[in-house]
């Protein structure tokens, strides 16, 4: 019997870049097949071609042994290929049922879709309410919509692009159970993930891409996470050197009883948040996206002022009413989550971006005039210290790849030798090599006496570099717990809300509360 | 004919072009495109409408020419904003300025040329009912068309799959594309529809309301239509309400001045915009930030290939 799908010698070029270079991929029916590789290795390009979103320049796709030409996602769906996107392709202002209807071809009346939706979601244990609007739903629920609407097309092959990156460990368990059911029905799954432990657990075959080429095929169950990582990166990935310790130094950053209403309609209110951050310590803030991380970051950085000055203190000075520049002058530095658009202005050159965050405290401005030489010197220093790879000396920020820009925006702040560094999602969507470099830099910064606060959804990252971890949920922050003896399970439960007081909360938060852990 | 009846009749004629143009723009904006060129498309409709009507002697030919002129202007806008992914605000403003200028050229030979307007369509028997008859059943075809358009668009947007897809393009073009919908083609059709409506509204001005051509005769109605879309928070029936509210204000202002009330006319003509701003703020307050507008409104979309 021929395999379910077979991609043969696929080539895809974008200008001079060869995103896929004679790639072969074979997935058998009933198989959970992992597609591994670093960012930019060509995974997304490949699956977009399998889903008809892009057309290959060379090569062919065989479906059950017969040639398959996909002119668009509709063709793929008709053939029996479904896809769950990494960045959800949902419409926020529409209901669950409408979102499902948009993914189904043909004129099926909404009430019938809603009925079928209820049926399918029950069959796979993925509860959903058809009439709710998507913006009210948690990330986990949104993903359920994507999966359910795929399953409603009765696909033979389901493509999942980094499905667990936004889920709590418990939610991920739920997903694995669903995948088990899907496989048991004889459907195949093509599973893209960075999380190697997860791949080893649920996948029975793997194709590994590097630089657009297939570099290995293996059975991940026979491999170790380290050997898989080696195949992905091509070299040994070092681990971060860090010995977690109980904090002993003086308090550098403290937040006491901070409460703030949300800044926008679907935002989260911060409720009675208290924390202390000591000299030489890394404190991790874990939590599922949308539980107040953005709001906490804005309050710490001064992008939003706290109601009372005493709510936020830097080295003992109340700064709650000071803006971000005043806090920078006191030795604090901030790296927000969104690197392009928040941490860096896309169309500004790197030197201009250095000025944007450094004009207050870096001596880039003298007598009202910008010191271009100093700015360029700064760019060079960051480039060297953080191995930022770029073509010209001073390109626009948007010309850098995600990992390199992240190295730049983190490096830009770390080189200032801040007393306090607050960083959100330091390695989000960054390849393994760059992530390791950034994490090590954070650890080293703390070792030199700074206090570092890391807000991250990546539990493995926090467990690797943090000394203590607190969990944020519905705008409340748990006690910070030392990492020694802390398990993923315990953190996962907190991230799902157990142990937090029951909530009155905003509509968004109320919706999240329905989430079974 | 009572005074009230007369006022109502003039309100209807003042509101109809606003409603037609607003409904067209509403569909455009629902697809995620902000076309600020309504005024330009409208005045081109007015100019081409009357020129064609005079040339052929047929009102129907005038209406057809007006619709085609509006669509041609819209196609130009689409070529810039969809084909070349130009900034929609700049392209829309340019379209308005271009339309006002070009319409002057088109209509130059016919300035002040009188023409009999398109008559009323009296529905037999019903139009003889006192008061209600002339108001409800003795109107020109455009009035009926404007309400048919409103009902049709409301039904299309909320009840049909095609309407759902159009809204999806306005909410998130990237997501719609990922699902396999031809975002640019859908937006193109929406822009053409908006152009046709604006052209039709223009035809109403030069063929019915004041049946002759003078340059600049749209007098800002295209801008009011844009304001109505926002005022209506992108709901068709609320756009009808807005059109009649704003149409009513213009007429009442005339009657108020006729009756000797000293209201500065400048204030009255600014009222639609003031009210729109007030309503926008009120909506923001009620929803605690964020408007009811399509999330991707005004964002160009370029599919990767």
B246-270 pLDDT, tens per residue? 888 888 877 777 777 777 777 777 7
Alpha-carbon distances of A509 from A169, A337, A506, rounded to whole Å: 19, 21, 5
Q: How confident is the model at residue A495 (pLDDT cuts 50, 70, 90)?
A: confident
The reply to whether residue A88 touches residue B175, judged by beta carbons under 8 angstroms, is yes
3-state secondary structure labels for all residues of B189-245: HHHHHHHHHHHHHHHHHHHHHCCCECCCCCCCHHHHHHHHHHHCCCCHHHHHHHHHH
- Strand, coil or helix: what is A406? helix
* Average pLDDT value over all residues in chain B: 87
Q: Enumerate the β-bridge partners of residue A6.
A: A26, A62
Place of tokens 């904006």: B29
**Neighbouring C-beta atoms of residue A202, cutoff 10 Å:** 20
Q: Are residues A101 and B164, on separate chains, in Cβ contact within 8 Å?
A: yes
pLDDT tens profile A317-337:
999 999 999 999 999 999 998
Higher-confidence residue of B230 and A164: namely B230
Give the model's pLDDT for residue A165. Answer: 67
pLDDT for residue A517 is more than 50: no
User: Which residues in chain B are contacts of A150 at CB distance < 8 A?
Assistant: none
Count CA atoms within 13 Å of residue A201 on its CB side. 12
Chain A residues 249-308 within an 8 A CB cutoff of chain B: 262-266
Residues A205, A33 contacting (CB under 8 angstroms): yes
Instruction: State residue B179's pLDDT score.
Output: 87
- The distance in angstroms from the start CA to the end CA of chain B is 65
For B287, counting Cβ atoms within 10 Å of its Cβ (0-12 exposed, 13-18 middle, 19+ buried), the class is: middle
Q: What is the b/e burial string over B14-49, where b = at least 16 CB atoms within 10 angstroms of the residue's CB?
A: bbbbbbbbbbbbbbbbbbbbbbbbbbbbbbbbbbbb
Residues 6+ apart with CB under 8 A from A416: A333, A358, A361, A362
Which residues neighbour A173 within 8 Å (Cβ) at sequence distance 6 or greater? none
Give CA–CA dist A382/A357, Å, rounded: 14
Predicted pLDDT of residue A266: 66
Instruction: Determine the distance from the C-alpha atom of residue A296 to the mean position of all C-alpha atoms in its chain, rounded to a whole number.
Output: 18
Q: Residue A155 has which token pair?
A: 């696909």
Q: What angle do CA B136, B141, B145 make, to 5 degrees?
A: 90
Q: Which residues of B touch A101 (CB under 8 A)?
A: 161, 164
pLDDT at A389: 82
Distance, in Å, from the CA atom of A400 to the CA atom of A192, rounded to the nearest integer, reads 24
Of the listed ranges A78-82, A228-232, A428-432, the one predicted with least confidence? A428-432
Which of A6-10, A223-227, B92-96 shows the lowest per-residue confidence on average (mean pLDDT)? A223-227
B167, B175, B177: residue with CB nearest A90: B175
- State how far the Cα of A121 lies from the Cα of A332, in Å rounded to an integer: 48
Task: Give B167's contacts in chain A (Cβ within 8 Å).
Answer: 91, 94
Judging contacts by C-beta atoms under 8 Å, the chain B residues touching residue A91 are: 167-168, 171-172, 175-176
**Residues B160, A107: Cα–Cα separation, whole Å:** 9
> Residue A322: what pLDDT?
93
Which residue(s) pair with A32 in the sheet?
A: A189
What is the C-alpha separation between A51 and A89, in angstroms, rounded? Answer: 14
pLDDT band at A238; cut points 50, 70, 90:
low
Sheet containing A157-161: give its strands across: A81-84, A157-161, A188-192, A32-36, A205-210, A213-218
- In this predicted model, which residue has the larger pLDDT, B285 or A69? A69
Minimum CA–CA partner of B285 in chain A? A265
Minimum Cα–Cα distance from B286: chain A residue: A265
Spatial CA neighbour of A215 closest among A201, A202, A228: A228
Q: What is the pLDDT of residue A175?
A: 86
Q: Taking Cα atoms as reference points, which of B10, B42, B12, B69 lies closest to residue B226?
A: B42
Please give the backbone phi and psi of residue B67, each rounded to the nearest 5 degrees, phi first.
-60, -45
- pLDDT average, residue stretch A99-125: 86
Closest chain A residue to B158 measured between Cα atoms? Answer: A98
Three-state SS letters, A101-167: HHHCCCCCCHHHHHHHHHHHHHHCCCCCCCCCEHHHCCHHHHHHHHHHHHHCCCCCEEEEECCCCCC
Where does the pLDDT of residue A505 fall: very low under 50, low under 70, confident under 90, or very high at 90 and above?
very low
Kindly state the average pLDDT of the residues B101-124.
80
ipTM comes to: 0.81
* pLDDT confidence bin for B273, thresholds 50/70/90: confident
**Lowest-confidence segment of A156-165, A230-239, B3-12 by average pLDDT:** A230-239
CATH topology (fold) of B3-112+143-286: ABC transporter involved in vitamin B12 uptake, BtuC (1.10.3470)
Paired with A13 in beta bridges are A18
- Looking at residue A396, the DSSP 8-state letter turns out to be B
**Beta partners for A283?**
A453, A468
DSSP lists the bridge partners of residue A5 as A27, A63
Nearest CA in chain B to A104: B179
Q: Does A37 touch chain B (CB under 8 A)?
A: no
Q: With cut-offs at 50, 70 and 90, classify the pLDDT of residue A511.
A: very low
Locate tokens 């991940």: which residue?
A220
pLDDT > 60? residue B303: yes
Quick check: A384 pLDDT over 70? Answer: yes
B288 contacts in chain A (CB < 8 Å): 262, 264-265
Rounded mean pLDDT of A168-177?
A: 82
Where are the domains positioned within chain B? 3-112+143-286
Q: Scan residues 70-109 of A and list those with Cβ closer than 8 Å to B.
A: 72-74, 76-77, 85, 88-94, 98, 101-103, 107
Please list the residues that pair with A317 across neighbouring strands: A314
DSSP-assigned beta bridge partners for residue A344:
A340
Query: Rounded CA gap, B167 and B187, in Å?
Result: 10
* pLDDT over 70, % of chain B: 93
Q: Is the pLDDT of residue A462 over 80?
A: yes
Residues of chain A with C-beta less than 8 angstroms from the C-beta of B176 = 91, 102
Cβ proximity of A160 and A194 under 8 Å? no
pLDDT at A53 over 60: yes
pLDDT of the residue at A453: 96
Q: Which residues pair with A244 in a beta bridge?
A: none
Q: How confident is the model over A124-143, as a mean pLDDT?
A: 82
C-alpha pair distances (Å), A253 with each of A26, A97, A400, A414, A502: 53, 46, 33, 17, 28
Give the DSSP H or E segment for B72.
Answer: helix B59-78
Residue A512: is its pLDDT beyond 50? no
Of the ranges A237-251, A329-343, B111-125, which one carries the lowest mean pLDDT score?
B111-125
Percentage of chain A beyond pLDDT 90 is 44
Q: Which residue in A171, A209, A41, A126 sits closest to A459, CA to CA?
A: A171
User: Nearest CA to CA, how far is B292 from chain A (Å)?
Assistant: 9
Q: Which residue of B has its CA nearest to A52?
A: B180
Q: Mind telling me how many Å the CA of B224 is from chain A's nearest CA?
A: 27
Q: Which H or E run contains B29?
A: helix B3-30
Average confidence (pLDDT) over A4-26? 90
Nearest to A265 among B171, B179, B290 (CB): B290
**Model confidence, pTM:** 0.76
Record: contact A92-B287, CB cut-off 8 A: no
Distance CA A447, CA A243 (A): 10
Q: Which of A207-211, A363-367, B234-238 comes out lowest in average pLDDT?
A: A363-367
User: What kind and span of H or E run contains A463?
Assistant: helix A459-465
Interface contact B165-A102, CB threshold 8 A? yes
Residue of B162, B180, B233, B304 to mutate, interface with A, max A Cβ within 10 Å? B180
Q: Which of A109-113, A385-389, A441-445 has the highest mean pLDDT?
A: A441-445
By DSSP bridging, strand A476-477 and strand A468-473 are antiparallel
Q: Which residue of B has its CA nearest to A70?
A: B180
The mean per-residue pLDDT over the stretch A105-133 comes to 85
Distances (CA, A) of A280 to A110, A334, A424, A446: 57, 17, 18, 4
Contact B161 A107 (CB under 8 A): yes
Q: Which DSSP category does A478 fall into? A: P
The pLDDT, as a whole number, for residue B1 is: 62
Q: Which of B164, B165, B178 sits opposite A89 (nearest CB)?
A: B178
Number of C-beta neighbours around residue A263 at 10 A: 16
pLDDT-derived band at B100, boundaries 50, 70, 90: very high
Asked if the model's pLDDT at residue B26 lies above 60, the reply is yes
Please tell me the number of Cα atoms within 13 Å of B247 on its side-chain side. 24
Instruction: With CB atoms and an 8 Å threshold, state whether B295 touches A92.
Output: yes
pLDDT recorded at residue A503: 58
Q: What is the pLDDT of residue A513?
A: 38
Residue A511: closest CA among A147, A135, A124: A135
CB A287 within 8 A of CB A471: yes
Residue of B nearest to A89 (CA): B175
């Amino acid at each position: 019997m021929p395999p379910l799908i077979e991609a043969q010698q696929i080539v895809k070029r974008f200008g001079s870049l060869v995103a896929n270079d004679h790639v072969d991929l074979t997935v058998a029916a009933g198989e959970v097949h992992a597609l591994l590789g670093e960012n930019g290795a060509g995974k997304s390009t490949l699956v977009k071609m399998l889903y008809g979103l892009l057309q290959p320049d060379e090569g062919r796709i065989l479906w059950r042994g017969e040639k398959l030409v996909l002119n668009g996602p509709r063709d793929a769906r008709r053939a029996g290929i479904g896809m769950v996107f990494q960045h959800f392709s949902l419409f926020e202002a529409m209901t669950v049922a409408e979102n499902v209807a948009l993914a189904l071809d043909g004129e099926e009346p909404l009430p019938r879709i809603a009925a079928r939706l209820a049926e399918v979601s029950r069959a796979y244990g993925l509860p959903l309410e058809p009439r709710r609007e998507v913006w009210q739903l948690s990330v986990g629920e949104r993903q359920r919509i994507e999966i359910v609407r795929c399953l409603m097309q009765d696909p033979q092959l389901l493509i999942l692009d980094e499905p667990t990156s936004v889920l709590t460990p418990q939610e991920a368990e739920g997903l694995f159970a669903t995948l088990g059911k899907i496989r048991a029905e004889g459907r195949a799954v093509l599973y893209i993930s960075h999380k190697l432990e997860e791949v080893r657990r649920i996948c029975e075959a793997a194709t590994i891409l590097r630089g657009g080429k297939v570099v290995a095929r293996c059975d991940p169950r026979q491999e170790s996470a380290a050997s898989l990582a080696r195949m992905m990166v091509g070299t040994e990935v070092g681990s971060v050197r860090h010995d977690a310790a109980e904090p002993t130094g003086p308090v550098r950053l403290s937040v006491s009883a901070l409460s703030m209403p949300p800044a926008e309609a679907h935002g989260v209110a911060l409720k009675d948040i208290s924390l202390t951050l000591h000299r030489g310590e890394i404190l991790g803030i874990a939590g599922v996206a949308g539980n107040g991380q953005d709001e906490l970051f804005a309050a710490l950085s001064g992008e939003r002022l706290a109601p009372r000055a005493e709510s936020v203190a830097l080295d003992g000075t109340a700064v709650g009413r000071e803006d971000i520049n005043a806090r920078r002058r006191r030795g604090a530095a901030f790296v927000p989550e969104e690197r392009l658009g928040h941490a860096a202005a896309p169309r500004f050159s790197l030197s201009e971006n250095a000025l944007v965050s450094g004009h207050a405290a870096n001596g880039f401005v003298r007598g009202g005039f910008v010191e271009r030489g100093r700015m360029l010197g700064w760019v060079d220093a960051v480039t060297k210290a953080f191995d930022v790879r770029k073509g010209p000396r001073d390109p626009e920020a948007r010309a850098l790849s995600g990992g390199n820009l992240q190295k730049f925006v983190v490096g830009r702040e770390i080189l200032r030798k801040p007393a306090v560094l607050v960083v959100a999602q330091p390695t989000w969507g960054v390849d393994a090599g760059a992530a390791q470099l950034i994490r090590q830099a954070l650890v080293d910064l703390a070792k030199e006496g700074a206090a570092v606060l890391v807000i991250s959804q990546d539990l493995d990252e926090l467990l690797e570099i943090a000394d203590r971890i607190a969990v944020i949920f519905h705008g409340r922050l748990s006690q910070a717990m030392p990492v020694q003896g802390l398990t993923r399970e315990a953190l996962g439960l907190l991230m799902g809300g157990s142990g937090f007081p029951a909530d009155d909360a905003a509509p968004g938060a109320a919706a999240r509360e329905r989430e079974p852990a | 004919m009572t005074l009230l009846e007369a006022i109502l009749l003039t309100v209807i004629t003042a509101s109809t072009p606003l409603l037609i143009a607003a409904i067209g723009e509403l569909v455009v904006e629902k697809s995620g495109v902000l076309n600020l060129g309504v005024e330009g498309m409208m005045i081109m409709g007015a100019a081409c409408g009357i020129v064609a009507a005079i040339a052929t002697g047929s009102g129907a030919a005038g209406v057809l020419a007006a619709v085609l002129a509006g669509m041609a202007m819209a196609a130009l806008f689409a070529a810039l904003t969809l084909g070349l992914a130009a900034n929609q605000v700049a392209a829309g403003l340019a379209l308005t300025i271009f339309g006002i200028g070009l319409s002057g050229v088109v209509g130059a030979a016919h300035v002040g040329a009188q023409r009999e307007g398109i008559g009323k369509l009296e529905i037999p028997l019903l139009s003889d009912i006192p008061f209600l008859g002339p108001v409800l059943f003795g109107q020109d075809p455009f009035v009926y068309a404007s309400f048919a358009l409103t009902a049709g668009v409301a039904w299309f947007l909320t009840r049909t799959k095609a309407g759902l897809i159009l809204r999806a393009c306005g909410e998130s073009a990237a997501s719609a594309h990922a699902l396999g919908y031809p975002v640019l083609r859908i937006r193109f059709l929406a822009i053409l529809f908006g152009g046709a409506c604006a052209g039709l509204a223009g035809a109403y001005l030069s063929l019915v309301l004041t049946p002759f051509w003078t340059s600049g005769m749209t007098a800002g109605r295209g801008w009011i239509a844009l304001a109505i879309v926002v005022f209506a928070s992108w709901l068709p029936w609320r756009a009808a309400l807005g059109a009649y509210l704003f149409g009513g204000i213009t007429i009442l202002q005339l009657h108020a001045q006729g009756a000797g009330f000293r209201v500065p006319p400048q204030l009255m003509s600014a009222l639609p915009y003031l009210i729109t701003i007030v309503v926008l703020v009120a909506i923001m307050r009620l929803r605690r930030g964020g408007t009811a507008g399509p999330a991707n409104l005004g964002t160009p979309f370029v599919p990767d290939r």
